[in-house]
Structure 1
Amino acid sequence: MSTTPDQRLARTFVTLADTLVADFDVLDFLALLAERTVEHLSVDAAGVILSDQRGGWRPAAGSSERADLVELFAAQAREGPCLDCVASGKPVTCADLRADTAQARWPGFSPAALGSGFRAASAVPMRLREQTIGALTLLNQEPIELDADTVAVGQALADVATIGILHQRAAARGELLAEQLEATLQQRTVIEQAKGVLAEALSLDMHDAFSRLREYAHDRKRRLSDVAHELADGTLDPADITVEHH
């Protein structure tokens, strides 16, 4: 049975999100990302650079292992839209690398890309909240200005890949993950104590007490666990939550 482009894109997101396997291979994962990016975005080539965790950036994968393309992806770790992208944390696009502005901005990358047959280059960050771990480069043989929808899909692919990589890194650090889980369970214990304090003080059932607690924290853009700690240790008066509830 044939599938539509939207269905194939949805399957790609599922595949990229499925990192809960024992033999998860990051490099194979990134190669898949580059290949699927070319398929879904109708670009001619795609590549990934990642942080080496020492302040530098290194090529990690490409949609092709063609020698000149591998060299170009290595060059983009030193200069180009990809490096600008990780610096700003925002998408960077260039519709024509022959333009004077592009030549002046990337005097090394632009000639290298043109020499490999690419006229346009863009990049989207691989970023989760404040952590940028790399970027996804999109290359076209014709001078093309990527539209907002194409950039958005590229960013979505990069986002889900970022989550997968960070999940794999966390899983690999078993001790750290165990500490995070232990801390989470400890916070849950404090929340249970806070619910009890609030329920008794305001004659609420536990569900309503928890709802009040969450609403109070959300209204003030505070962490639920911090408010719970204050209730549990008596720093916060339950009556204050009643006054602020709406």
Structure 2
Amino acid sequence: MTSMSREQQVSKVFVQVADSLIDDFDLIEFLEELCAHCVDLLDVSAGGILLANEKDLLHTIAASDQTTHLLELFAIQHDQGPCLDCYRTRSARCNIDLHDPAATASWPVFAEQARRSGFRMSHVFPLRLRDRAVGAMNLFHSRQQSLSPEDASLAQALADVATIAILQQRDLGQEQLEKTQLQRALSSRIVIEQAKGILAERWNVTPDAAYEALRSYARAHQLRISDCARHIIDQTLDTDRIPRT
């Protein structure tokens, strides 16, 4: 199969977000795909999206892969890290050298974990609506490679697309509804992580493999990943029916 050009990938992302505004779509699935698009379009090694809850604490909502080291790296930013700074200032920051003590002085634990995970550079972009932010997107390079101004602009556009999908543009004027939508998204992520853990332990496989099996089953049956996850947790879905990948 011929791979899509950069322009085709960008078009696909915007078509998907347009669909999200009119259809009952799977938000987690969309954001996972958006992170994967960031990796391909921007030539980065990994990426993830974090949302703030009602207490302004950041939690992972989507990542380009489900490896433990990457998810732990995002989880650290609950307390410190470039995403937390980005969320608070509502400003992007690119080309952070994770081996530069001066650049990482504000978050030493995060920087050390990032280096141990094999990452060299970090870039963060706010998920913002008008004059406030609802979260942040974090991208990583495993080598010393900078984002060009053009790529940084595209990254911010993708972060803005994620914000639109999360908040549903037709309802943006209602602050309480925004908070409800954000909390629902975070709750769905928690449910998915629980179900992923159940499958990984039951099958003795990696969390990444468990997640791929769960996502494939949901797609095949035209279900939301979060709904499948809830059925696994409340034991209304026989996990033997889920093909292992």
Which category describes the TM-score, using the shorter chain as reference length?
0.5 to 0.7
1:4 matches 2:5: yes
1:159 matches 2:151: no
Give 1:62 shift.
Answer: 0.6
Q: Which has the higher contact order (CA 8 A, sep 6+)?
A: 2
What is the TM-score of this pair, normalised by structure 1? 0.65
One-letter amino acid of the structure 2 residue matched with residue 97 of structure 1 = L
Q: Is the 8 Å Cα contact of residues 17 and 161 (structure 1) preserved in structure 2?
A: no
In 1, the alpha carbon distance for the partners of 2:99 and 2:144 equals: 9
User: Across the two proteins, how many residue pairs are aligned to each other?
Assistant: 175
One-letter amino acid of the structure 2 residue matched with residue 153 of structure 1 = L
One-letter amino acid of the structure 1 residue matched with residue 99 of structure 2 = R
In 2, the alpha carbon distance for the partners of 1:39 and 1:135 equals: 19
Aligned to 1:29: 30
Q: Relative to 1, partners in 2 of residues 1:133 and 1:176: Cα closer, same or farther, differing over 3 Å?
A: closer
RMSD after superposition? 2.4
Aligned to 2:131: 130
Q: Is the 8 Å Cα contact of residues 49 and 134 (structure 1) preserved in structure 2?
A: yes
Q: In the TM superposition, what are the counterparts of 1:90-109 in structure 2 within 5 Å? A: 90-109=91-110
In 1, the alpha carbon distance for the partners of 2:49 and 2:22 equals: 22
What is the TM-score of this pair, normalised by structure 2? 0.65
Aligned to 1:61: 62
Q: Is the 8 Å Cα contact of residues 94 and 102 (structure 1) preserved in structure 2?
A: no
SS in 1 for 2:156: helix
In 2, the alpha carbon distance for the partners of 1:21 and 1:102 equals: 42
SS in 2 for 1:135: strand
In 2, the alpha carbon distance for the partners of 1:127 and 1:58 equals: 16
Q: Give the unaligned 5+ runs of structure 2.
A: 179-245
Considering only CA atoms, is the larger Rg found in Structure 1 or Structure 2?
A: 1
SS in 2 for 1:98: coil
SS in 2 for 1:139: strand
Aligned to 1:80: 81
Give 1:22 shift.
Answer: 4.4
Q: Relative to 1, partners in 2 of residues 1:101 and 1:50: Cα closer, same or farther, differing over 3 Å?
A: same
Q: Moved runs in structure 1, 4+ residues, more than 2 A?
A: 1-4, 20-23, 168-171
Map Cα deviations across residues 111-138 of structure 1 (whole Å, 9 max, x no partner): 0100100010010001110231111101
- Percent identity of paired positions between Structure 1 and Structure 2: 38
In 1, the alpha carbon distance for the partners of 2:107 and 2:70 equals: 17
Map Cα deviations across residues 7-58 of structure 1 (whole Å, 9 max, x no partner): 2221222213321354322222221111111111110000111011222111
Give 1:103 shift.
Answer: 3.6
In 2, the alpha carbon distance for the partners of 1:83 and 1:176 equals: 23
Aligned to 1:44: 45
Q: Is the 8 Å Cα contact of residues 82 and 92 (structure 1) preserved in structure 2?
A: no
1:113 matches 2:90: no
One-letter amino acid of the structure 1 residue matched with residue 150 of structure 2 = D
Q: Relative to 1, partners in 2 of residues 1:155 and 1:39: Cα closer, same or farther, differing over 3 Å?
A: same
